[in-house]
């Protein structure tokens, strides 16, 4: 059974801090790893990672994938209160066609205090 484990489950920081969120996985036929941000509504897409060692960056957020060690990290620098949300990691796996599957972790609840 495919598994995605995120850590920590929750994190409280102060504005300006840098945080690192972790996602490890065990899946069959890995295709990609996705990060989402969820603020009491629809999860919104952040990054999709398919290759090891290539950093994806968007403003203060960045993410990297290690396919050998089966994990990804999401970094947020100079955090702001607006970064407070649940960050979801999901892994796409499958051999194609109807065997495609997206497995989610439980999420990391990030709270950024002023």
Partner 1 sequence: ETGVTQTPRHLVMGMTNKKSLKCEQHLGHNAMYWYKQSAKKPLELMFVYNFKEQTENNSVPSRFSPECPNSSHLFLHLHTLQPEDSALYLCASSQDLRRYSGNTIYFGEGSWLTVV
In angstroms, what CA-CA distances link 112 with 18, 56, 63, 85, 96? Answer: 10, 23, 19, 9, 40
| CB of residue 18 to partner 1, shortest distance in Å | 26
User: Which residues would be at the binding site for partner 1 (CB under 8 A)?
Assistant: 4, 31-32, 34, 36, 41-45, 48, 50, 88, 90, 92, 94-98, 100-107
Tell me 32's DSSP state. E
- What CA–CA distance (Å, rounded) separates 88 from 46? 10
- Determine the straight-line distance between the first and last CA of the chain, rounded to whole angstroms: 41
Nearer to partner 1 by Cβ, of 76 and 90: the residue is 90
Task: Name 4's bridge partners.
Answer: 25
Nearer to partner 1 by Cβ, of 79 and 87: the residue is 87
Nearer to partner 1 by Cβ, of 57 and 100: the residue is 100
Nearer to partner 1 by Cβ, of 53 and 97: the residue is 97
| CB of residue 48 to partner 1, shortest distance in Å | 6
């Amino acid at each position: 059974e495919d598994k995605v484990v995120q850590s920590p489950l929750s994190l409280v920081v102060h504005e300006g801090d840098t945080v690192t969120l972790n996602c490890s996985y065990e899946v069959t036929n890995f295709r990609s790893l996705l990060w989402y941000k969820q603020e009491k509504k629809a999860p919104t897409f952040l990054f999709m990672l398919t290759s090891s060692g290539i950093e994806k960056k968007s403003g203060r957020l960045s993410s990297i994938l290690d396919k050998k060690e089966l994990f990804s990290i999401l970094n947020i620098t100079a955090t702001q209160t607006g970064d407070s949300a649940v960050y979801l990691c999901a892994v796409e796996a499958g051999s194609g066609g109807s065997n495609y599957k997206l497995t989610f972790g439980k999420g990391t609840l990030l709270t950024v205090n002023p």
